[in-house]
Structure 1
Amino acid sequence: MGSLANIYNLGVKELFSLRRDVVLLALVVWAFSLSIYTAATGMSHDLRNASIAIVDEDRSQLSRRIGEAFLPPFFQEPQMITFAEIDPGMDFGVYTFVIVIPPDFEADVLAGRDPALQVNIDATAMMQAGIGDGYIQSIIGQEVRTFLHGTAPPETAVELEARYAFNPNIESSWFTSVMQVINNVTMLSIVLTGAALIREREHGTIEHLLVMPLTPFEIMMAKVWANGLVILVAVALCLLLVVETLLQVPVAGSRSLFFMGLIFYLFFATALGIFLATVARSMPQFGLLFMLVALPMNLLSGGQTPIESQPEWLQTLMEGVPSKHFVGFAQAILFRDAGLDVVWPQFALVAAIGGLFFAFAAFRFRKSIAEMQG
């Protein structure tokens, strides 16, 4: 009971210390408010208002129909230009797409000669280029079929009917906002605990703790629960106020189940912050270590790109990193309404790997304390 009381009192001290640290408080508020909003709305993965131009050398009914088919919000109103204006317009970034309709295009289509259209794409606008190419092909194909066969296109051997699960409108903000919350959990958990330890070392308060009847485990656990509690509260408010209310992103699954898994993960993330703080001697060193460890961990955990797109050896390596499993069960719960029967293996892996690393970080912390006492 005395040990629990020490951990509780030290944790309260951590919360008061954090309250006085204006910079860290501002970082927490920004990371779970404006950062989420700007990530969801500032960089869209959807095709929006793409600039397009058309070189119409056919001047036919079909070419006019193709030009009129590109409508907002996906495309801006097409600009009719000459062939000589293509290179200057694309060189200066005026147009992302330029469609060239050759002479006698309509006549060749009616004659069944399979004419070709040229689509010039500015691939420096990489995101719009990849998505827009598919849109343009679909729009032109639909217009040609409608022109040839009227409102009823010819029957095909197979009819494809696409159904988008979990995100029927394919809104990138639904995915981006939640993934930004998940990524910021890792970032803030490491930064808060690591900064707390370095701050005490720089201010000399760690020496005051060492002369008290406290164990290194109690000091470490106090930092873990106090800073973990800050992250839990920040994530809860962020999901409620920013993600669901401001961005109108529906959370499909159980929030309680998500927070249960988050608690398991926080033991690993906060322990990682303490471990890095025992290696670093100052905040600049800690920042460098953070970039070397936490940023690649976030990028490779499946939140930015699918795990399956990575090399096999890297996929195997990431199986031992709790952040990969955290991203997996967070997506399953929040996006797909997965229950405990689905995510319990990932919970178990996060708890097991996180517990092992927590023990290692505690050993390293005790060693650093012994060096300071020596």
Structure 2
Amino acid sequence: MWDKLNRIFRLGIKELYSLKADPVMMVLIVYTFTIAVYTVSTGAKLEVANASVAIVDEDRSMLSTRLRDAMLQPFFKEPVLIGAQEVDAAMDAGRFVFVLEIPPKFEEDAIAGRKPTLQLDIDATAMAQAGNGASYVQSIILQEMATALPNKAVALPVNLVVSARFNPNLQSTWFTAVMQVINNVTMLSVILTGAALVREREHGTIEHLLVMPITPAEIMMSKVWANGLVIVVAAVLSLVVVVERLLSVPIAGSLWLFVFCAVLYQFSVTSLGILIATVSSSMAQFGLISMPILIGMNLLSGSTTPMDNMPLWLQYAMVVSPAPHFVSLSQAILYRGAGFDAVWQEVAALTAIGVLFFCGALIRFRRALADAR
């Protein structure tokens, strides 16, 4: 047993030296967990920011001016006054995301209690901004109307108080930053292990391993622990330095529990990388095969959209994928501060899937080595 562990350890050290000698892969790892996390988190925002808005003010009253002045930065750009005949052309050209049309005699009708109608035209090309922006505009209008005409405000039957937990300011950066790290763990785990095996085949070093007293399981384990170690360390550093320090996103839970779960996750995704590599004849083919698999895993993992939004049959199909389980427990730990008692079911599922993937990859790897002989 100690001899086996020693061989696995030394083969893993060889993997680390091979990775160190590959500057392109080293740059990819550093870029993925630093610049990519920061730029995507700060650039791809789901909330409304600097949205272009136009006002068709056919009333020209104090109340309509008040509504126009309430569209403030950083949510909206300074509103632009346009005519009613310019609306279609302006929206077709993409000049404005929101166009608020205020009818004639709006203030007069509001004071008289005749409940005038406002029209809000929205460019829903960007659906997230359109949906959130509509809520923003509606809230602004209701607040300004209640302030300007307190005697005309309609009392609601209930007083609804909204309290947002885990992200009180509803900042998309808090969600995007952590999910970007999680997605990068999946992507690089597959790429590193698969590329390492393809590289050995292309350089002819796999034949050297075949003449040594080493089993296929030991070769696989060495690649799993070496490449998995690099990914886990890079992910933790990214969470601490980039996410928590640079982006000021709080990490609520235990990093050690996250590391434990990430190590379990490595057995499945690195095994998947080896499995893809065994059916690939070159690095280019490996990239073409792994790309749609990784895109599907990330999009259907729950890191982009909630799992409940997917069709029921697809939710059941994704049970065999390790990505949804890892995303679910990572969100529970890093966002909500969950302990092991709250995520043990996901950990158990991740362990079972990891063993299944590892055994499947090992069977295929043995066949590939037998063919190489």
TM-score, with structure 2 as normaliser: 0.97
- The 5-angstrom pairing of residues 244-323 of structure 1 reads 244-323=244-323
Is the partner of 1:336 in helix, strand or coil? coil
How many Å apart are 1:154 and its aligned residue?
5.1
1:141-182 per-residue CA deviation (whole Å, 9 max, x = no partner) reads 2222222216x9554320010001000111101100100000
How many residue pairs get matched?
372
- Structure 1 counterpart of 2:229: 229
- Structure 2 counterpart of 1:177: 177
Q: What code does the residue aligned with 1:27 have?
A: L
How many Å apart are 1:284 and its aligned residue?
1.2
Is the partner of 1:54 in helix, strand or coil? strand
Give, in whole Å, the separation in 1 of the partners of 2:126 and 2:289. 33
- The 5-angstrom pairing of residues 1-374 of structure 1 reads 1-149=2-150, 155-373=155-373
Is the partner of 2:95 in helix, strand or coil? coil
How many Å apart are 1:134 and its aligned residue?
1.1
Q: What code does the residue aligned with 2:42 have?
A: T
How many Å apart are 1:73 and its aligned residue?
1.0
Is the partner of 2:54 in helix, strand or coil? strand
Is the partner of 2:335 in helix, strand or coil? helix
Give, in whole Å, the separation in 2 of the partners of 1:213 and 1:368. 17
1:53-103 per-residue CA deviation (whole Å, 9 max, x = no partner) reads 111111112111111111111111111222222233223222211111111
| 18-27 or 152-161, which deviates more | 152-161
Q: What code does the residue aligned with 2:113 have?
A: G
Query: How large is the RMSD of aligned CA atoms in angstroms?
Result: 1.3
Is the partner of 2:100 in helix, strand or coil? strand
1:281-339 per-residue CA deviation (whole Å, 9 max, x = no partner) reads 11111111112322101110100000000000001111121111000000000000000
Structure 2 contact 101–119 (Cα < 8 Å) conserved: yes
Q: What code does the residue aligned with 1:368 have?
A: A
Give, in whole Å, the separation in 2 of the partners of 1:5 and 1:125. 55
Give, in whole Å, the separation in 2 of the partners of 1:123 and 1:292. 28
Is the partner of 1:71 in helix, strand or coil? coil
Give, in whole Å, the separation in 2 of the partners of 1:264 and 1:252. 21
Give, in whole Å, the separation in 2 of the partners of 1:297 and 1:256. 25
Q: What code does the residue aligned with 1:204 have?
A: G
1:83-136 per-residue CA deviation (whole Å, 9 max, x = no partner) reads 222233223222211111111111222222222111121222333212111111
Displacement over 3 Å in runs of 4+: 152-155
| 201-210 or 278-287, which deviates more | 278-287
| 66-75 or 118-127, which deviates more | 118-127
1:30-71 per-residue CA deviation (whole Å, 9 max, x = no partner) reads 110001001101111111111111111111121111111111
Q: What code does the residue aligned with 1:55 have?
A: V
Give, in whole Å, the separation in 2 of the partners of 1:202 and 1:261. 33
Give, in whole Å, the separation in 2 of the partners of 1:21 and 1:80. 57
Give, in whole Å, the separation in 2 of the partners of 1:223 and 1:162. 49
Instruction: Return 5+ residue gaps in structure 1 as ranges.
Output: none
Instruction: Return 5+ residue gaps in structure 2 as ranges.
Output: none
Give, in whole Å, the separation in 2 of the partners of 1:324 and 1:97. 36
Q: What code does the residue aligned with 2:88 have?
A: D
Give, in whole Å, the separation in 2 of the partners of 1:88 and 1:368. 62
Is the partner of 1:140 in helix, strand or coil? helix
| 164-173 or 130-139, which deviates more | 130-139
Q: What code does the residue aligned with 1:138 have?
A: S
Give, in whole Å, the separation in 2 of the partners of 1:256 and 1:125. 38
Give me the identity figure in percent: 56
1:254-290 per-residue CA deviation (whole Å, 9 max, x = no partner) reads 0000111111000001000000000111111111111
| 42-51 or 190-199, which deviates more | 42-51
TM-score, with structure 1 as normaliser: 0.97
| 57-66 or 108-117, which deviates more | 108-117
